[in-house]
Amino acid sequence: MQIDVQENSGSAVVAVVGEIDAHTCGDLASALDRVIGSGVQAVTLDVTGVEFIDSSGLRVLIQANERLEPGRLGLKGPNETFRRLLEITGLQDVFPTG
């Protein structure tokens, strides 16, 4: 998995490419912890390049979301499988998508 972080005055875009699973979710959690810990108020997680996400990846997103104000962790470019996973788990309304 590849992670690229770009911060810009109170917000950040975290672009992820690859798979978010039990083997890689720790790297994403660390990146999100650093970004949120830096004081940003909003995070966009660009998942356009994410090929797969499992429950451990969703856990990382939920934990990051809990550290921000509601609606401040958004998803950009989730593929159909990712969107379906959000629907199945009831998380489609938790993460704004674009």
Residue 98 has pLDDT above 80, yes or no: no
pTM for this prediction = 0.93
Q: Cα–Cα distance between 50 and 40 in angstroms, integer?
A: 23
- Within a domain: 94: no
Q: How many independent structural domains does the chain possess?
A: 1
The tens digit of pLDDT for each residue in 37-77 reads: 999 999 999 999 999 999 999 999 999 999 998 889 999 99
- Within a domain: 52: yes
- Within a domain: 32: yes
- Within a domain: 96: no
- Within a domain: 13: yes
CATH of the domain at 24: 3.30.750.24
Cα-Cα end-to-end distance for the chain: 22
Which domain does 44 fall in, by range?
A: 2-89
Q: Cα–Cα distance between 42 and 73 in angstroms, integer?
A: 6
Q: Please name every residue paired with 46 in a beta bridge, in sequence order, or none if there are none.
A: 15, 76
The tens digit of pLDDT for each residue in 68-92 reads: 988 899 999 999 999 999 999 999 9
**Residue 16 confidence (pLDDT):** 98
φ/ψ bin of 77: left (φ > 0), alpha (ψ from -120 to 50), beta (otherwise): left
- Within a domain: 95: no
